[in-house]
């Protein structure tokens, strides 16, 4: 839900004039989100659940690259930098998530917190201030 929630202001506000992204990419992201919730809720014992979830969440997270030229055209450099830093923050935590021991899981949460902070800053300082 965090990934889809982070995408929503960028796509619905910043790219409102680009329906391919503001409607269709956002619909794809939310469909993936719902699929992910379904898998997490009902497929506890599925052998490939971890691999599927990790691939889907990374794919969702970096799918914004398809509309990067449009984002660069409408957002200030600071917003783009924060958006990319957030993605790098989330992605950098993946090796700790995969190792799946208690300390590594805590470290992964620190990366998630950093990624969330960068995206929140981008939304607060740049998206909510758009005309």
Model pLDDT for residues 37-68, shown as the tens digit of each residue: 999 999 999 999 989 999 999 999 999 999 99
Domain boundaries, the chain: 2-127
Q: How far apart are CA 57 and CA 124, in angstroms?
A: 23
Q: What is the pTM of this model?
A: 0.88
Strands (E), the chain: none
Average pLDDT over residues 99-117: 93
Could you give the count of Cα atoms lying within 13 Å of 14 in the half-sphere of its Cβ? 29
């Amino acid at each position: 839900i965090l990934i889809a929630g982070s995408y929503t202001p960028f796509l619905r506000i910043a790219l409102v004039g680009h329906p391919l992204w503001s409607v269709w990419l956002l619909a794809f992201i939310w469909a993936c989100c719902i699929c992910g919730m379904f898998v997490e809720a009902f497929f506890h014992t599925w052998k490939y659940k971890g691999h599927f979830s990790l691939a889907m969440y990374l794919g969702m997270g970096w799918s914004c690259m398809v509309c990067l030229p449009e984002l660069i055209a409408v957002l200030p450099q600071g917003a783009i930098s924060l958006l990319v830093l957030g993605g790098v923050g989330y992605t950098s935590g993946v090796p700790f998530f995969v190792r799946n021991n208690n300390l590594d899981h805590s470290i992964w949460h620190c990366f998630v917190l950093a990624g969330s902070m960068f995206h929140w800053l981008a939304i607060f300082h740049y998206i909510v201030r758009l005309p």
